[in-house]
Each structure stands twice: as structure tokens, then as C-alpha cells.
Amino acid sequence: MTRVLITGGCGFIGRHVAEEMIAHGYDVRLYDAMIDQVHGGVEVRLPEGAEVIRGDMQDPQRVRAALDGCDGVIHLAAEVGVGQSMYEIARYVGANDLGTAVLLEAMLNHPVKRIVVASSMSVYGEGYYALPDGTLLENVRRKPADVRAGNWNATAPDGQLLSPVATDEDKRVDLASIYALTKYAQEREVMIFGEAYDVEAVALRLFNVFGAGQALSNPYTGVLANFASRLASGERPTIFEDGEQRRDFVHVRDVARAFRLAYEKPEAAGELFNIGSGSAYTVTQVATLLAEAMGLPQLSPEITGKYRAGDIRNCFADISKARELLGFEPQEKLENSLEEFVTWVRGEVVVDRGAEMRRQLEERRLVS
């Protein structure tokens, strides 16, 4: 039986990937530091049959032990949070970039056939935009002075208003946060290593992942979990800017299937893929849908009209490449999955730390 090491395997995405791999006949070993911010001291329900090794990605000895006897790696371990990355810089660079380097060095003595690394849509910065005549632009950046003045939408140099369009893998990266920088470094480390050592390497650029099992007490986790924590605590979801920024929300079970396909498909070797739903939602739309699903429509989102450093305006996925080479097709749309998500939230102990997150950012002048 093929044994796969899943780093970060006790986390939200990792547990679902483990379930997917076990269901398709793989032997799974999970490696995870079990940090309090993510797991909060709560007992984690792990897939039956998964072996667990607890350890830090920056511990070479533990990483080598975790790799022993494994045929492949799915590398999910990372600190996650755009806002937090802007002030806990060493923590993010250490865990994400150095942690990946330690893993790759360990693989020199424990060769594997394939490694699949979790990258992020954040590496794109702003997604593609189009001029009124249809001309595509890939290097759009909003000026800090403009967004601080409340001019949220991206414009062309001559002032023309731009229309956001789906972003494919050919778009050049534009790193707008420390988190994005570390995710791109993880991606490139793995791909360079794979080419140099004849290891099949694949990178998946994940868009906004949601579903049951997200850390509801971690304010730097996914948007939907943050909104759910606020609502479950009787508070209005907090939204920066004007709430009209667009994102792509993809269900965690679709993401887990994408990792399995990326691990299995011969055509995936050496490639990177967008993994999203292929649909765009405004952040206000998501908060409103969730409040209605939780029976709390009166808790309309608080639109702060403030800019958070590192945020981008629009980015949503073109998933044509994943469809073609992986056979990936999203099966669970956001609007059809909220009932299951809400049922799970109601069974959890929720600690809302949204106000604490906002205070931390404001104290460091990262919100203006």
C-alpha cells in the first residue's frame, strides 16, 4: 500500500485530504505541530486509520522520522493569515519558508516519487482586469493613498474603471502581503527541488476554502469561519472596505479531491493549478447568505469603510487547467452548502476573537 505523508495533516484541510486519501486506498501519516491558534486545545477528530506524528516543520529530526517509509508527500503545513503575517513576519517566514526547506532537505535522504504543495491565490495579488474594450491587464495595483481615501476600485492609469475577470495560472504573481510572499516561496522551493532531483512536483493555488471543521476561534482563518464566529456570538460580521470585493469560495471536500487527483494524475507532474469554484461572490453577499442560513438576518455586516494592509480587491479563479489535466470539477457550491456548515457551527464551542484581531491590526496601523 502506498503511504503518503500529509504535513499539517491535523488541520482543517489536512483532515479532509486524509479522509479522501484513505477512502481511495492510501496509507496516511499525518505530521502536525498542533499549534494553539489553530487547534485551541480542543480535541481534534482525526480520520480512522491515520497515523499521527506531532512535530514542528523546523525540526529536522522529527521531519526525517515522519518521512521514513513514505512514498509521497502532500505539503499543507503553513501559518495562515494575511493580516497577522504583516506583523508576525519572522513567524510566517520561519514556519512556511524555512519549514519547507527543512522538509526538502529531509527528502534528500528519504526520496519520494511525488510532492504536492498547497500554494495560495494570494500570490496573484489583484486578479486579471479588463479595459472597456476587452484588453486584459495583469499588473493592476491599487495605490495606498487611493484606497485610504475610499476609492476602492482598481482603475487604469488614465482613470478608466476596470472590470475584474477570472484569473488563470498564466498571470504574473504580484505579492501584496508577507503571507503571499511565503506561499510563493513554498511553491517555488518545491518546484525547483522537484526539477533538480527528479521528484514529481505539483503546486495547487487554493482560493478561499470553506466547510465544516475550520478553526472558529482563529480570527486569521477563512472568511466564512470568521463570519460564523461573529454571528454565533451575536455580533455583526466585520467587513473591510465597502464589502464589494470579490472572492472565489471552494468547498474543502472539493479541495481534498483536487489534492488526490494532483497526487495521482501523471499529467500533473511539474504543473501548478488554480483550485477554486470558478464562481465569484462579493464579501457582503457571503456574510448576508450566512446570516440568513443561521437564522440571524438582523445581524447585517458591519461595513467598516477601512483598508487593511495586504488586502486585494478582486481575485477569482479560472479553473480550466484543473478541469483539463486533473479532471477536477467542483461539486459543492457555496449557496448549496451553507445548511451543512451551519449545522456544524451550532454543535461547536465558538470563541469570537474578531475584535481582538481588529485591535491588533489597528494598534500596528495596518488598518486605516
| Window from 11-25, 116-130, 204-218 with minimum mean pLDDT | 204-218
User: Per 3-state DSSP, what percentage of the chain is helix, strand, and coil (rounded to 5)?
Assistant: 40, 20, 45
Examine the pLDDT at 349 and tell me if it is beyond 90.
Answer: no
Grid cell at residue 333: 457550491
Question: In the prediction, which pLDDT does 97 show?
Answer: 97
318 contacts 274 by C-beta, under 8 angstroms: yes
Q: Tell me the percentage of the chain whose pLDDT exceeds 90.
A: 74
| Window from 67-76, 84-93, 185-194 with minimum mean pLDDT | 84-93
Question: In the prediction, which pLDDT does 42 show?
Answer: 57
Q: Which helix (H) or strand (E) holds 217?
A: none
What Å distances lie between residue 59 and 23, 101, 105, 157, 251, CA to CA?
30, 11, 11, 48, 32
For the chain, what is the mean pLDDT? 92
Annotated active-site residue in 124, 179, 184, 281: 179
Confidence band (pLDDT; 50, 70, 90) for 40? low
Examine the pLDDT at 36 and tell me if it is beyond 70.
Answer: no
Examine the pLDDT at 41 and tell me if it is beyond 60.
Answer: no
Confidence band (pLDDT; 50, 70, 90) for 10? very high
Residue range 126-146, pLDDT digits in tens:
999 999 889 999 889 998 888
The Cα–Cα gap between 111 and 94 comes to: 23
Question: In the prediction, which pLDDT does 365 show?
Answer: 77
pTM: 0.93
Question: In the prediction, which pLDDT does 38 show?
Answer: 65
237 contacts 287 by C-beta, under 8 angstroms: yes
Task: Tell me, yes or no, if 179 is annotated catalytic.
Answer: yes
Question: In the prediction, which pLDDT does 301 show?
Answer: 93
Examine the pLDDT at 1 and tell me if it is beyond 70.
Answer: no
Domains in the chain, CATH or no CATH each: 3-363 (3.40.50.720)
